[in-house]
Structure 1
């Protein structure tokens, strides 16, 4: 019966080797799948998972903005910090600090997340809110948005109330300004 024990020992050893090879192959496959799936994750989906948390955004032409992330929508987000609100165009974000490790797929976003930058700016126009418009090159325009076009906003600035057209592509962020 010694030969049976040797045979069973050999078969058990082969089975353990096959199991280890399978586990190694499966681990590599899972890592590949994980990398492939992560390619679908967007900055916006990471930010949606961060709503309600304190974070910092480095914004082109503005610098670092810190506060509570209140809303994320199509191409923009709303950050509340130090008693004022910032509408930040996502294309102007250079870096995000302290975001959630999670991601929320677009299918799980609220319907309001489909509202574009124009909707947020139209809201400011409806309120006749005084704001500071920061451009990606560091420029600033303080005034009231009067109308919102397809790819620009019309802003009344200065005491002379001159009208300036600000293209969305040049916009980094809009900062609320109390009267």
Structure 2
């Protein structure tokens, strides 16, 4: 009988050690998998959900995450669409634990310039907020280069032609957010 108790004890210790080793391996694999996730994965897993964000320029927005691009997101906040470069994000709230698939195909190649060219093509009136707090320009995107945009400026009620407008060139790293027409942040 003494031998039975000894073998039972050894068997219990082995089962405990095996269980602890398996749990440790699961935790390590989970950490390794999480280390490969990008912010785009996290954001794409939350598409359609509510999100709060703060930008490097100090803007605080809350809205619905509508689109996730390779280098930007779009949020519907207070009835306007807001384009936010990922490089401008300071913090995010409300993402939960969900993770989406990596972007693939065309979506993986659509950077900030692609989104801005669509706005330029549509001749949409936008407000370009700069990383410098409280700096904002309103107008129409006239041209989008590899790393800059040209914004044709006008004041409210300005009916001048495109040729007569002042133009400001904004490097992409200076862009904090871009709001849709009629927005006032």
Q: After TM superposition, is the score higher than 0.5?
A: yes
Query: Hey, what does 1:135 align to over in structure 2?
Result: 130
How has the CA–CA distance of structure 1 residues 12 and 111 changed in structure 2, closer, same or farther, with 3 Å as cutoff?
farther
Matched residue of 1:106: which SS?
coil
Structure 1: gaps of 5 or more residues: none
Give the root-mean-square deviation of aligned CA atoms: 1.8
Query: Hey, what does 1:121 align to over in structure 2?
Result: 116
Distance (Å, rounded) in 2 between the aligned partners of 1:111 and 1:149: 19
Matched residue of 1:44: which SS?
helix
Give CA deviations for 1:127-160 in whole Å, capped at 9, x if unaligned.
1111110111122111110111010011101355
Q: Say if 1:47 and 1:100, in contact at 8 Å, map to a contact too.
A: no
Distance (Å, rounded) in 1 between the aligned partners of 2:6 and 2:105: 59
- Deviation for aligned residue 1:62: 4.2
Distance (Å, rounded) in 1 between the aligned partners of 2:59 and 2:3: 71
Q: Answer yes or no: is 1:172 the counterpart of 2:176.
A: yes
Structure 2: gaps of 5 or more residues: 156-163
**Normalization by structure 2: what TM-score?**
0.87
Matched residue of 1:58: which SS?
strand
Q: Which has the larger radius of gyration?
A: 1
How many aligned positions are there?
174
Query: Hey, what does 1:98 align to over in structure 2?
Result: 94
1:156 pairs, out of 152, 168, 173, with 152
Query: Hey, what does 2:43 align to over in structure 1?
Result: 47
Query: Hey, what does 1:22 align to over in structure 2?
Result: 18
